[in-house]
């Protein structure tokens, strides 16, 4: 396994639309292993492949608390089959927009279909933090960032703050 660099705004690669994966093979599993290690090291609870510069429809996630056993999840070619009309707010963060947090309102529950680490199809419902995180990560696959839901002023301020951090580093 290897750590990969996480791209940060305003890197234009983050705006790319990711393409579906044709086969879940050992090369793809290596990418997913690297992504999980990179996400744990950051630390974060989710990561989309485009955040490490790979425009494929691949996401990793682990929502386990520190006092729980790790529960890695892998999503290949995820699709939302249904989203609730009910919405819920959540203060989101993003490893590609370090140290910026703001509230985003999204459907409270979703039903999704995806391929797992072994290429097996899974259909399941998500709610709570799982629903928030999968929708946030699936937005990355479309080149959408959570700051895109904020006002232009807040978005511009967020990008300016990250640029300033990068210069200071
Ligand atoms: O960059 C990303 O997409 C990962 C992002 C996922 C996410 C967080 C919150 C709401 C929606 C999506 C993060 O992991 S940000 C870091 C974070 O939330 C966290 C870090 C350490 C411990 C607990 C949470
Ligand atoms: Zn993100």
List pLDDT tens digits, range 90-141: 999 999 999 999 999 999 999 999 999 999 999 999 999 999 999 999 999 9
Q: What is the CATH number of the domain that holds 75?
A: 3.90.45.10
Beta bridge partners of 91: 103
To test ligand 1's pocket by mutation, which of 94, 107, 162 has the most ligand atoms within 8 angstroms of CB? Answer: 94
Q: How far is CA 12 from the centre of its chain?
A: 16
Task: Count the domains in the chain.
Answer: 1
State whether the beta carbon of 39 lies less than 6 angstroms from ligand 1: no
When the pLDDT of each residue in the chain is averaged and rounded to a whole number, the result is 98
Clarify whether 137 is annotated catalytic: yes
- pLDDT value at residue 1: 83
pLDDT, tens digit, for every residue of 80-89?
A: 999 999 999 9
Instruction: List the end-to-end C-alpha distance of the chain, in Å, as a whole number.
Output: 26
Nearest CA to ligand 1 atom 21: 44
Q: Is omega for the bond preceding 43 within 30 degrees of 0, making it cis?
A: yes
Atom of ligand 1 nearest to the CA of 92: 10
For the cut 90, the answer to whether the pLDDT of residue 169 exceeds it is: no
To test ligand 1's pocket by mutation, which of 38, 93, 134 has the most ligand atoms within 8 angstroms of CB? Answer: 93
Residue 35: inside a domain, yes or no? yes
- pLDDT value at residue 163: 96
Residue 1: inside a domain, yes or no? no
Write out the residue range of the structural domain in which residue 110 sits: 12-168
Q: What is the pTM of this model?
A: 0.98
With cut-offs at 50, 70 and 90, classify the pLDDT of residue 168.
very high
């Amino acid at each position: 396994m290897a750590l990969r660099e996480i791209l940060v705004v305003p890197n234009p690669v983050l705006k790319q639309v990711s393409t579906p994966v044709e086969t879940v093979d050992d090369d793809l599993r290596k990418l997913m292993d690297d992504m999980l290690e990179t996400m744990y090291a950051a630390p974060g609870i989710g990561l989309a492949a485009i955040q490490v510069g790979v425009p494929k429809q691949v996401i990793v996630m682990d929502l386990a608390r520190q006092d729980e056993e790790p529960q890695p999840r892998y999503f290949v070619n995820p699709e939302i089959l249904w989203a609730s009309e009910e919405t819920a707010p959540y203060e989101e963060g993003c490893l590609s927009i370090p140290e910026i947090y703001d509230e985003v309102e999204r459907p409270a529950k979703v039903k999704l279909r995806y391929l797992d680490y072994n290429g097996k199809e899974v259909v399941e419902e998500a709610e709570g933090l799982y629903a928030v995180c999968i929708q946030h990560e699936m937005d990355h696959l479309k080149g959408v960032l959570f700051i895109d839901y904020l006002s232009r002023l807040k978005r511009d301020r967020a990008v300016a703050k990250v640029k300033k951090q990068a210069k200071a580093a």
